[in-house]
Structure 1
């Protein structure tokens, strides 16, 4: 009885309109009132890169074969999705029964999973990163499984794994062994803190562990004086940033192989070190006098005003990075509430950007700004600020983004009618180009869907041999 909530189907009874609920804007609507010279350039770019034309163009990584042997973490799947979007043949090598990430679903509820044609359920997060990939199963803990991997490795360009440090090497299928079979192999290991060093990865070293271990979480969230605590990113920051760096490093290794090395190499990329790279000036600041960058919530230590602020129907970001923008912000507020503009602009302690940075000056300015914004919607605030040429934008809810004309028109939020899982709303490929753009052809495959095609094609196995391997728990 206590566990019945896991299977109860209590989805909210909200009428969901088919996407898009609001039709896509037309070309005429988008460019109405735009200067003819600007419009001419816009339309030229659009004709070159519109995503609806992608299927007619070649793929930049066509002919590259990738084995993604990662499991239980998104970092490897995120990395290999960059290759699959750009046309590489990416084969997800999953453990028997499939990657455990397939089971992840909001609140653990099956009704928030997608069902394939053969009835197999899969979580949305896994499907999003399984785009354009084939699925095979392989148990590398068996000798037969390792032999099968060795049989196909001569035809592989890139192998990605995230097993415990040294585990594949112990099994005889690490870089040192596989590079003897295929010297051109690029072997990528991804994880959170690495295979070597005092903090090398241990069991359970997932994305949140990496976020906490390298300073990011300590610097994110509201300060103690605001009642805040360290806050990890709601998204899988280390997996996504680390996976992106891993893809770039592997692409570079691929280029080096083709241009001057003539052989592959071992590549390692971790989530923690990737985010260390992006929290840039923390390190130089600490090196100067031992300062630790404090948490400051949505406010900025070096710019005032530069923050997300509450308004009547949500929140809005306002950027005033220099003095001219500063006074434009208050001119926008003063059109509605002149006393607020007068109060701020006549204060001698707030006239120069560096004088506005101490904490109490920030409290003063943001408090006064919200006195104007609290009575205005995001749209009203943004309109007023943009009339003064101030960078600003409302904080959008995900359902608003789904129907936002800009992303729909550009094809980045799109509905894909997948052959296995039906209609899936997703974010499209970010690789936009006139000749070899990225694209999404399908969202994912059921577990082991491509066993026969891959193993017959790459290892020369027949159906009888495949049946024997399946019976023996190898595939």
Structure 2
């Protein structure tokens, strides 16, 4: 089996819930050894974020929530109480053996335990220390706690997501997934790899990386933010309308929803031909992309009844044959039943000691490597599953020493 691109990297994951664990999971998928640190007894907060929970052989809920499962594959789990001096000493000893530390505690919280960057770089000057917080390490809001929906609101995403104010159901809308966490986690994962490259190739020292969920969310508004910064015009919500050519929106067929994007004039003309109205390609209101953007309401009024007369499957086939981009509005069951998604291997199975059938299904990493493929998926660990192994391998502790720590509540 090919080694992952980060197979020589060891990560201490002291983060909880989503953004930090997501970043650590990305590194684990790439082959890094990721050691997740959990509180004795309670563990990662996300273990409680259910239902649903993974079921055991008797049909009972385990402590493995679907939320926790989504963001902790390919990791090891140890337990350690960092509020105890012995726990802090264990973390410092592990840091000496690690390349990366990830944490998402409140700003300044780890300083009281001597586990902040300034303290730990004395233990390991080569350490890449990444802090993920809601508002960052600096700025007037840095002490505040926060969650994804707060950042979607404050960062502008909700203002550009949802239906316009002047239609039924209009108003700001949160996205389904917790995108602020996911995006911050992705930014953190790539920043960590850049810092490792700078250290190992360019001779830079270890360093502290500061990633804020609010910053990541704002950066990810991309062309919407650029639209405002360039023009001064505040972007508005447009429902399912996209940002390319027109039409670019959801339509209702006779038996379901379809997303259609005519990204240029040629695709638009082919769309008109499929619907049996080629004359609309030269209609003075719609002949160019800019005209279709300006006249988007009229465009919808013309095309909505034309699309509504079609069966979804029939229209998808006709548009595909004509080279017009389109897709159905799938729910999750339909997503994973799609033959293309299956061919791309986007669902994988892994052995799990608590699952009823001994297996858990996971969403695969979407990246496909030719020489170092991501092919070895390990199930998210049971809390503390690897405590003895990690402390024994890295710190030379035998089973009796670990048991003594367990009896004192350190692990």
* Shorter-chain TM band: over 0.9
Q: In structure 1, which of residues 80, 85, 91 is the aligned counterpart of residue 35 of structure 2?
A: 91
User: How many Å separate the matches in 2 of 1:94 and 1:140?
Assistant: 10
Larger relative helix fraction: 1
The DSSP-based 3-state class of the residue aligned with 1:435 is coil
Within-5 A mapping of 1:177-216: 177-203=119-145, 205-216=146-157
The DSSP-based 3-state class of the residue aligned with 1:249 is helix
Contact 1:310 1:374 in 2 (8 A): yes
Q: In structure 2, which of residues 35, 47, 54 is the aligned counterpart of residue 102 of structure 1?
A: 47
In structure 1, stretches of 5+ residues that fail to align are 1-55
* Corresponding position of 1:293: 235
Contact 2:55 2:354 in 1 (8 A): no
* Corresponding position of 1:234: 176
TM-score of the superposition, structure 2-length normalised? 0.93
* Corresponding position of 1:42: none
**Deviations 1:370-424 (CA, angstroms, capped at 9, x unpaired):** 2122232332111111222111111222112222111222322233343443222
User: How many Å separate the matches in 2 of 1:301 and 1:89?
Assistant: 40
* Corresponding position of 1:62: 7
Contact 1:429 1:439 in 2 (8 A): no
* Corresponding position of 1:404: 338
Contact 1:68 1:161 in 2 (8 A): yes
User: How many Å separate the matches in 2 of 1:323 and 1:444?
Assistant: 48
TM-score of the superposition, structure 1-length normalised? 0.81
Contact 1:253 1:264 in 2 (8 A): yes
* Corresponding position of 1:378: 312
Q: 1:436 to 1:67 in 2, by over 3 A?
A: same
How many angstroms does 1:289 deviate by?
4.6
How many angstroms does 1:254 deviate by?
0.5
Q: In structure 2, which of residues 18, 39, 46 is the aligned counterpart of residue 74 of structure 1?
A: 18
Q: In structure 1, which of residues 200, 217, 222 is the aligned counterpart of residue 158 of structure 2?
A: 217
Q: 1:441 to 1:420 in 2, by over 3 A?
A: farther
User: How many Å separate the matches in 1 of 2:38 and 2:186?
Assistant: 21
User: How many Å separate the matches in 2 of 1:289 and 1:191?
Assistant: 31
Contact 2:126 2:206 in 1 (8 A): yes
**Deviations 1:422-447 (CA, angstroms, capped at 9, x unpaired):** 22222212231121112343211211
How many angstroms does 1:176 deviate by?
0.5
How many angstroms does 1:171 deviate by?
1.9
**Deviations 1:315-359 (CA, angstroms, capped at 9, x unpaired):** 11111122222221111101xxx4xx54x346322222212222x
Q: 1:252 to 1:288 in 2, by over 3 A?
A: closer
